[in-house]
Amino acid sequence: MAKKSSKKTSADDNSPILPSAAPVEHKPVDDLYSDWFLDYASYVILERAVPHIHDGLKPVQRRILHSMDELEDGRYNKVANVVGNTMKYHPHGDASIGDAMVQLGQKDLLIDTQGNWGNTLTGDNAAAPRYIEARLSKFALDVVYSPKVTEWVASYDGRNKEPVTLPVKFPLLLAQGVEGIAVGLSCRILPHNFIELCDASIAALRGEEVNLLPDFATGGIMDAKDYNGGLRGGRVRVRAKIEEGPKKNTLVITEIPFGTTTGGLMDSIVAANEKGKIKIARVDDNTAEKVEIVVQLPSGTDVEQTIQALYAFTDCEVSLSPNAVVIQDDKPRFMSVNELLKASAENTKKILGHELEILLGELNEKWHFSSLEKIFIENRIYRKIEECETWEAVIAAIWKGLKPFLGQLKREVNDDDVARLTEIKIKRISKFNSFEADNHIKELEEEIEQAEKFLKGLTKYTIRHFEELKKTYGPGRERRTVVSSFERVAAAEVIMQNETLYLNAKDGFAGTGLKREGEPVCKCSPLDDVIFFTKDGTMSVTKAGEKFFVGKNPPYIGLFKKDDQAVYSLVYRDGRQGNVMAKRFRVGGITRDKEYVLTKGTPGSTVLYLIRHETEEESNAFNAVVHLKPALYLRNLQIKFPFNSIAIKNRESQGNIITKHSVDRVVREPKAGEA
């Protein structure tokens, strides 16, 4: 008998047998993670960071407002309770919900707050959610909710229903503003004025052009000439409102730029003072309900220059870069604020039309059944069912009694209508008043007529809606930010020149840190540029610093200003034995720390004389006296050279010949009355 093999076959083993040399599939990491990254980026853009075009809300904000509507009973709710209820819809934890709710409450539009909700002026945080309370504002109840026209979707766990978007009948996105950072995309829409949004919505419905500009709760002064409709690439500059205080040498800041706080603003002022860019004695924050920052100045300080320096070196002036992007048709879309407003106005019109259609349908149903009930009771059709023994007989008796009157109704009667008639209580039949029934039907007819009229003139109806919003909620929401135009302050023009430029001519160094070994040249600031000329005929411009090389015994060193129109008069020797040349020039455009040659470039060239004139007239009046070295054939050892005999050219010009003889020195011709 053959011995059985102990080796198991594939039929004996439940696990599959792999080939001994099965190929291993390798995939690049990019292929594995690219889809995941795109999915995550799309999720963050659509579900967290960017608002929807229809209601102007991010998902967390929408869920908070929906949750508050669920809890709404006219009384305040603990914010902690609202946060807990919202977690049924928002799967990202209580902290994100609480922060988003505080931000909504601080905008003072949709949420009526109670307790310490923080201070946007000072940057103080709100109290913990268990200590503060909230309820929906009257405005929110009027314009945000309409369950019958809301599209619903299942929540993340499938247990509840939440709105896809809320039927907001107002440009909420532009009123509140929004900021969000997604993956590869950022959103920043600045807030706008409530009253102006109502007016602009009315204008858009009438087909007129609109041009919206931001308005900030913190006030300030705004230059929006580069706003660009809030699109990417635009810019808005906002300044604090600074006034001279009641006391001498004091400034008072009463309004701050959007996005800053009084604490941050004070820190920037102190930092600028420590860096020597401005000079202050003290700064105090007296902010409560309104901003009041008092800046005390040292005695003798130029107040106007200090104000300009505050704008240049502190957060008293900030630049805001908007980027209007919204979710439309499940993808981000860049739109100007004017386009967003027109879209909002049309969406409001659509929602109001949908509400009117639903209302009209409900009124027609009420009219239909009220009329049917009147026929049923007045014609005593209910008596015909008293002897009926079956449900079918009851229905048949009612149909038979109604048949002569069916022509009086606006729509056909169905079995549900007949069944509903059987539910009328005997008490209502006994107390039925024909006169009251007629009046009720007449009122319904008037309401139906009015609803139909509104539907036919839906644009006018929508305009009236915005007019009512403006009338009801507009008072107290007037523009706070002043629209103006101002140029950017040049920092170099207002910085405090509280340092001294020194020159060590012997060693060839200059700088602000050479007090012990150098001679003072002029006052300067860290932002100033210094121009200097060397003995071999080169020119350079560099930033003022503690120490930099300028060459031994430089002919001239001083401050250089952009667009400097000063005229320089130069006398130099070309090479070691060449001609003595003269030229007049302006510096013109320069590159910092680049060396410019002012001579012909011949080796051994030397500057004999150099002087700076602030104006061309001053240069024209200048004469130089050239002293020649004695020689047997020379009778006159002095040459008077009027510089107005040569034209003012650029710095590359080579100049005119004064003499071919050797020169001992060049001096300025004394003016009349000078020794």
Active site amino acids? 131
DSSP alpha helices (H): ranges in 45-128? 59-71, 79-86, 94-106
Rounded-to-integer distance, Cα 334 and Cα 323, Å: 8
Rounded-to-integer distance, Cα 132 and Cα 600, Å: 80
Going from the C-alpha of 475 to that of each of 195, 467, 469, 478, the distances in angstroms are 9, 12, 10, 7
The count of C-alpha atoms lying within 13 angstroms of the C-alpha of 374, restricted to the half-sphere facing its C-beta, is: 20
The pairing of beta strand 221-223 with beta strand 482-484: parallel
Determine contact, residues 205/67, Cβ cutoff 8 Å.
Answer: no
**Residue 183 DSSP symbol:** S
DSSP secondary structure string, 8-25?
--TTT-SSPPPPTTPPPP
The dihedral over CA atoms of 12, 18, 19, 21, expressed in degrees to the nearest 10, equals -150
Q: Left if phi > 0, otherwise alpha if psi is -120 to 50, otherwise beta: which for 108? A: left
DSSP secondary structure string, 398-462?
HHHHHGGGGGGSSS---HHHHHHHTT--HHHHHT--HHHHHHHHHHHHHHHHHHHHHHHTHHHHH
Dihedral of CA 173/174/180/183: which sign?
positive
Both structure tokens of 56: 């102007």
Which residues, in sequence order, are CB contacts of 571 under 8 Å at separation 6+? 580, 581, 582, 607, 608, 609, 610, 624, 626, 641, 658, 666
Both structure tokens of 622: 């200048």
The pairing of beta strand 293-296 with beta strand 548-549: unpaired
